[in-house]
Amino acid sequence: MTDTNLSAVLYKVQHLRLVDRPIPEPKQGEVQISMRTVGICGSDVHYWHSGAIGHFVVKAPMLLGHECAGVVSKVGEGVTNLKEGDRVAIEPGVPCRQCELCKDGRYNLCPDVFFLATPPDSGALARYHTHAADFVFKLPDNVSFEEGSMIEPLSVGLHACRRAGVKLGGRVMVCGAGPIGLCAMLCAKAMGAAGVCMTDIDPKRLEFARKVGATSTVLVDTKDVEEVAAKVRVALGGAPDFSIEASGAQFCVELGVVTTKTGGTFVVVGHGPTHVQIPIVNTVAREIAIKGSFRYVNTWPAAIAMISSGKINVKPLVTHRFQLEETMDAFNTAKSGVGVKVMINCERQ
């Protein structure tokens, strides 16, 4: 193997292999990026181990990886916002820019979006990648490549908080202390929340959540939703004005409705079962607004600014690091759940 462009290709379920591929050339409006860091998302692990997430099914070989940052190594025709040598973070979804949703500013809902590492679209876990230049953002000198890769999960949390309408002095509950839940917590605090309580079934995750900024935590050690809700209200000093579900668990969907303040907002981010039960009478009688939150829209500039200014610190969330040549070790580590965010360095050593 000459390693022209070492790439992590998923051929089928549980068949992930490093292969050498040609270096892609940028088309009009694109840039070629020498990749530096790629974070492993839960979706990457799921595609590798199960081959599908809902109706997104791996039917052909595809690269994994969509949490990424690197250096612009070549500029395609017509690109004016970037130049060779720019340190950048990549927004993985490139919409059609022409449909009604795109023109309405909700391009995250575009039905024709190209999204890295989501079948049938290939990802960016390789030495080189080409991407639409208008979805590539410069990184300030004080923002590292790892922080640049963390902008993707941070954006999920930021979009959820925006959907909830988190505001100064609000009380927030976040269900699930994984990477997305932690990012939602960090964003809620940065947006002025007076308190953020995180719930999870794993005491170690809750301990980590407190270390990185959660003002309180509640261990879910019972199937009694009302009991857990009461604990959250005590921890926050009242019912949460805004609740964010980032676990995908049926229990947490019920918890979000029951715990949220009357007239409050409950945002669902976590992808769990296709169908869940909602305590509808409780929802209607107390006018709980339930909103979905899908990926993100126009979050990269704000997320970069919050990291650069020091308002949000994502560095502690990166707990394990591997080289591209160690991709299988990295994925096994991510699957084991021992850390929070596993990061892969794609630069040739």
Q: Report the percentage of the chain scoring pLDDT > 70.
A: 99
pLDDT (0 to 100) of residue 2: 61
Per residue in 84-125, pLDDT (tens digit) is 999 999 999 999 999 999 999 999 999 999 999 999 999 999
* Mean pLDDT confidence for 330-342: 95
Same-fold call for 6-138+314-345 versus 157-292: no
Per residue in 284-295, pLDDT (tens digit) is 999 999 999 999
Is residue 23 scored above 90 in pLDDT? yes
Does an H or E element contain 225, and which?
Answer: helix 225-236
Q: Report strand pairing: 341-345 vs 318-323.
A: parallel
Strand-pairing partners, residue 32, are 74, 130
- Angle in degrees, CA 49, 53, 57, rounded to 5: 85
* Mean pLDDT confidence for 296-314: 98
Contact 343, 35 (CB under 8 A): no
pLDDT (0 to 100) of residue 274: 83
Does an H or E element contain 32, and which?
Answer: strand 30-39
Is residue 333 scored above 80 in pLDDT? yes
| CATH class of the region 157-292 | alpha beta
- Mean pLDDT of all residues belonging to the chain: 96
CA atoms within 13 A on the CB side of 331: 23
DSSP character at residue 275: S
Is residue 1 scored above 50 in pLDDT? no
Letter for the amino acid at 253?
Answer: V
* Mean pLDDT confidence for 136-146: 98
Average the pLDDT over each of 55-59, 68-72, 228-232 and give the range with the smallest value: 55-59
* Mean pLDDT confidence for 234-242: 98
Q: Report strand pairing: 171-175 vs 195-200.
A: parallel
* Mean pLDDT confidence for 264-280: 92
Is residue 57 scored above 60 in pLDDT? yes
pLDDT (0 to 100) of residue 7: 97
Q: Where are the domains of the chain?
A: 6-138+314-345, 157-292
Tokens of 118: 């989501």
Contact 117, 123 (CB under 8 A): yes
pLDDT (0 to 100) of residue 54: 83
Q: What is the CATH number of domain 6-138+314-345?
A: 3.90.180.10
pLDDT (0 to 100) of residue 175: 98
Per residue in 216-230, pLDDT (tens digit) is 999 999 999 999 999
